[in-house]
Amino acid sequence: MIRHQDLNDETLHSMIRKREIVWGGNARLKIYGTLHCGSGKRMKRMNRIFFKNVEEARNAGYRRLRELDAAGLRMPPSSAVLMVAHCQPLSVIVTGCH
């Protein structure tokens, strides 16, 4: 688990490109979801955390967003690219969507 406030934008971009970060979560609410989730984009940086995989999130006591459960979503699309602005919120560009 990595806290967003502990990373600068360049490091975060690099970790996402290397797939060292795949899932995002809210430390206060103890929930996690994909990086392109709308809730994550509105979250305060101080509450945002990142995980490499679902097991890491679950082992830390986090639960999956209900919206993901309803959609049956297992993994984020491999074409998702997270672009972090210098201020809140995160902007997300998903490539390869039809």
pLDDT digits (tens, 9 = 90+) for 16-75: 999 999 899 999 999 999 888 777 778 899 999 999 999 999 999 999 987 555 455 554
**Residue 29: left if φ>0, alpha if ψ -120 to 50, beta else—which one?**
alpha
What's the pLDDT at 53? 93
What is residue 91's predicted lDDT score, i.e. its pLDDT? 41
What does the buried/exposed string (b/e) look like for 59-90 if buried means 16 or more CB atoms within 10 Å of the residue's CB? eeebebbeebeeeeeeebeeebebebeeeeeb
pLDDT, position 82: 40
pLDDT value at residue 18: 93
**Residue 18 identity (one-letter amino acid):** K
Q: What are phi and psi of 52, to 5 degrees?
A: -80, -35
